[in-house]
Amino acid sequence: MISSQSPILIPMTFLFAAMLIPLVGAVNRAAAHLAAVLGSALALYFSVIGMQTTLAQGRISYHIAGWMPPIGIEFVLDPLSAFVCTLLCGVTFIVMVFGKRSVEYEIPQKEIAFYSLSMLLLGGLAGMVMTGDLFNLYVYLEIAALAGYALVAIGDKRAVVSAFRYLVMGTVGATFYLLGVALIFISTGTLNMADIAQLMPLVHDSPAVIVGLVLIVLGTALKMALFPMHAWLPDAYTHASTTATALIAPIGTKVSAYVLFRVLFFVVDPDHLRTEMLNLLQIIGYLGAAGIIWGSIMAICQSELKRMLAYSSVAQVGYIAVGIALASPLGFIGAILHALNHAVMKCCLFLVSGNMRLRLGHSSIPLMTNGLRKSMPWTSAAFTLAAISMIGLPPTAGFFGKWYLALGAIEQSHWIFLTALLISTILNVAYFFRVMERMYLKPQDPGGVDYSEQTIARSEAPASMLIPTLFLAISLLVLGFANAWIVTNLIVPMIPGWL
């Protein structure tokens, strides 16, 4: 019963929770957090059930209001969308558990709005993942985007300005997408993705379809912060509250990347993709490679931990773009695996910065000293593990995503992509070791206050924040060791047959 309904149940759980939280919160403030945790736990449960069913029995399709596709709107749970959806729900559940103390500290009095908006954001993102209809995707994209603007705006003093910039860029992206959908609709007369995929071979020569696809790719690239359209991202992530960043950073850009996957590999005609569309793929790949280098270099220049991580996100989106551009099974596996790993690593790193903000009141890198190691040993350990994974040292998870991408690049002799991957690894070392060096080795200022062993109190973050952080850090090792299982059982079934 649940399994056949799961495509619709997941977004609806989030949307229902978003409506319920203000009501519950009006009665009891503390219950708002509980409702958010329960809502995301329920959605996680549904998505795990959905994923099990999909892997066992294949695609689940849910027709809204009983209208058959292509007339009606279809919600689809196939291996790809089930995987992305489980990832979304898992990250959300962990961040919601983490959120209680961090939200109370960073944005007091705004908890109810925060939880309600984050559920709305997730409802939008889950809908984007699930829907099989291009226009429906636009609607969910805007739900997620509007909730995202509001979440980003609840932050420090500058958050409003960065939220405004995010809104302007996001709206341009969504408009390009809508315009692209219009051109495709005019040419094919349908909005259902599976139906368009069938009609595509008949119309792929039409300039309208080509322009439409380019506009869709452009709009999605803006949303996923592909270089050079990433300018909104660092500001938005830096000034938002840490919990909001930890929620948006790992999954927001990934879902846009998922849309790119969906459109390029499941809607566009495969023969067409290999021949005329190849230039578009190449451009996505080169922009991704440029983003990898540029994001990493900018990350080295930052003095604020959250901002550094935000630039690093720009670089990581580049890896996914490179994987898409390779258009081969290895590239596909690499991009999806990297999306999973990066979501876990980046979430963990942002949670660490939240722990630091709670205990130190800042997350500025030049102010860090080895006092941090003594006062917050577990948080520092989680940071180190996640940083090692970001750099990509085996056996942590980060290594394997890059490994598949590198193999894919070698297979097709894309030496530029390979060079970008290798250079970025070195740049990653540079910016993460800079933080780790301060965290573990830099002695405290001798001229200042005496911070000898006795005066440094152990002030580790509270358990509700520390456990999610450590859980993510440990799961990086687990994902690293289990990567062969993940690739064979979860990722290989989602590769389209023609690839």
Partner 1 sequence: MLEFIQGYYAYIFLATAFTIGLYGMMVKQNLMKKVLGMSIVAATTIMFWIVGAYKEGAGVTVLDPRYGVENPEMYLNPLPHTLMLTAIVVAVVTLGVALALLIGIYREYKTLDEPTLLERMK
Binding residues for partner 1, rule: CB under 8 A, are 135, 138-139, 142, 146, 149-150, 153, 157-158, 160-161, 163-164, 167-168, 171-172, 175, 178-179, 182, 185-186, 189, 191
Q: How far is the CB of 192 from partner 1 (least distance, A)?
A: 12
Nearer to partner 1, 191 or 255 (CB): 191
Nearer to partner 1, 122 or 191 (CB): 191
Nearer to partner 1, 5 or 364 (CB): 364
Nearer to partner 1, 239 or 359 (CB): 239
Amino acid identity, position 62? Y
Nearer to partner 1, 138 or 432 (CB): 138
Nearer to partner 1, 52 or 175 (CB): 175
Coil vs helix vs strand at 128: helix
Q: How far is the CB of 47 from partner 1 (least distance, A)?
A: 26
d(CA 154, CA 159): 7
Coil vs helix vs strand at 496: coil
Q: How far is the CB of 215 from partner 1 (least distance, A)?
A: 10
The secondary structure of residue 76, as a DSSP letter, is E
Q: How far is the CB of 176 from partner 1 (least distance, A)?
A: 9
Nearer to partner 1, 182 or 365 (CB): 182
| Contact call for residues 98 and 33 (beta carbons, < 8 A) | no
Coil vs helix vs strand at 190: coil
Q: How far is the CB of 477 from partner 1 (least distance, A)?
A: 41
Nearer to partner 1, 138 or 332 (CB): 138
Per the DSSP assignment, residues forming a β-bridge with 436 are none
Nearer to partner 1, 75 or 166 (CB): 166
Q: How far is the CB of 203 from partner 1 (least distance, A)?
A: 15
Nearer to partner 1, 146 or 309 (CB): 146
Amino acid identity, position 471? F
CA 388 to chain centroid, in Å, comes to 19
Q: How far is the CB of 489 from partner 1 (least distance, A)?
A: 39
Q: How far is the CB of 464 from partner 1 (least distance, A)?
A: 30
d(CA 243, CA 495): 33
CA 293 to chain centroid, in Å, comes to 19
Q: How far is the CB of 116 from partner 1 (least distance, A)?
A: 15
Phi/psi of residue 131, each to 5°? -70, 150
Give whole-number Cα distances, 240 to 230, 279, 299, in Å: 16, 37, 18
d(CA 182, CA 175): 10
Strands 60-63 and 74-77: antiparallel
The secondary structure of residue 262, as a DSSP letter, is I
d(CA 145, CA 252): 9
State yes or no: cis peptide before 395, omega within 30 of 0. Answer: yes
CA 355, 356, 360, 361: dihedral to nearest 10 degrees?
A: -80
| Contact call for residues 291 and 323 (beta carbons, < 8 A) | no
Q: How far is the CB of 133 from partner 1 (least distance, A)?
A: 10
Span between the terminal Cα atoms of the chain, in Å: 33
Give whole-number Cα distances, 315 to 40, 308, 374, 393, 482, in Å: 29, 11, 31, 17, 25
